[in-house]
Structure 1
């Protein structure tokens, strides 16, 4: 049986990976690892709904060559993106500031009806350091769902659909006004934005499991994600590529950011919680870094930087990252998602994050890092 599973795995890999040489196929090498954190998932790969996209980065003189390798990548197979949607929301908020004369990233503001004041820069930092839901929702109120979706599509980033806030799970299509400070004594108010009602998604695996809890009652039907956010691996990877290598894209496909804005964003993406002012005991280095270090609370070495955004909810874990080792001149991109919900019940807070999901993503990151390191050393 094990031999049969391995044969099926390698068949899938040979079909999914864009490469000519099996000997140099990183996806095949990594997923063929005997590391048990990887092996246990791959031996039951369909159960875990795994999708992976790895980008090998080669620099030759002034040229940058990106080569993608896929495993089970399928935009039509739905997974819940959770907090990964916060990255494009943050990027587009920064971009929108360029078209608003009275605002910049240091403008202090608050949502009408709320007393919490923040700057746009503070909210973006909170999103990227500790995945703050409230900060994300404020930036969504600033832009509106329709504008976010339209601007992503106009840049060639699709499929994608942002339909709701996070944490509070408000599906209200009308945004709340922002009150922003023009100076110390003068404020302005933005208008509410009325967005279109989201349509039901028609995708594979849009209904999952065998039941879910609604308040305290168990409903014995699959959990329906039809009206949730939709942000597949290919779209996540597309956002990351545009941020790290904007020069590889046409002008109309790039984010409209100044170099100062882009540097601010990239710094926020790799800044560890302790360096953003958070308590290191609660927000350890790998708090929002699943690849390589997710299964450890040890400090991440200073020469390794991870520019990423993770998401985890409803048993789904996802990480989308650009990883660099400045000392060894190693760099690569990796996006992966896995569903860990053994009992098939949603909203019961019984998900195998620590037992299966995070160990898998951490081991996956290490295997790809080791591959990139060995490739760099090779003559």
Structure 2
């Protein structure tokens, strides 16, 4: 119901106006109209000043005032409700942004649980001519870190004998083997006889040491033959190799016997080694990685260990498993132009592949940037021979 309807409903019932009052109103209206046509001045029109008409006017004005007040109240109520529904501004204080630094890593990777799945992956791994080194992730605690300088004028051979055993040969320039010492005595005070070295073509070889290594006596430089402990001195296969060798004017010639194989050959290079802490199935171990940029498997494998063929990341490799420490092994192979040796225990080869895949691609310059300059060559150059030893292998 609009305000006009409200006013109409509130008007009192008024009877018809008397005839003389109607005539008086018509005369006044006619007079007003005539004056409007002749003059431009408005004229105040008054209705007869009767008590009844005054009462009616006051009643109508009162109703209009009540309606106006009610409309204002209704409008105020709507405005208040709208303002209450508006979102209040956020009065919380400004939040400050804090910058946190990454903590040092103590456990580098979490390899998958052991599996018997075959090693079939052939995904490339850093270690090429442009990236010859694998480096640990940044901010990683290392168990070991060292650089071993190369041996002056040295080179190494890795041979496989006809009985499938591994024999390593290493030569170096200008370093003479130690001379034989005086006779030693046993516990009873008796003299231990010195076994004369065996003579071969241009060199002599004494008895092996406790690690199974033979140090040959040559005119200048050094020559060592190593096969590891547990073998009889001068066994048949080793004697075959020594009989096939000759040393002439510093050159070492090796004519491989029948069913012998040359596995690897290469010069001496710097060795870069670090020990990487790793968690394997909740057990903390250390994986030690030695790398030889532009080196050879022969350099990485040389020592008192016997190796067997293995496949690692889809590539040929060689592995030595410890008889005295079950679960421990040494693995050698190539990553691009870099030879490597991994020493670890209680980790499967598939897990070891995962560990190496987490390492960073780098080079010698990056190693120096992170870990400092390479060590200065500790030994002076004492080479005095005009003709230096070197290997010449033929089959």
Structures share fold, TM-score greater than 0.5:
no
**What TM-score results when the alignment is normalised by the length of structure 1?**
0.25
**What TM-score results when the alignment is normalised by the length of structure 2?**
0.24
Greater share of helix residues, 1 or 2? 1
> In terms of Rg, which structure is larger?
2
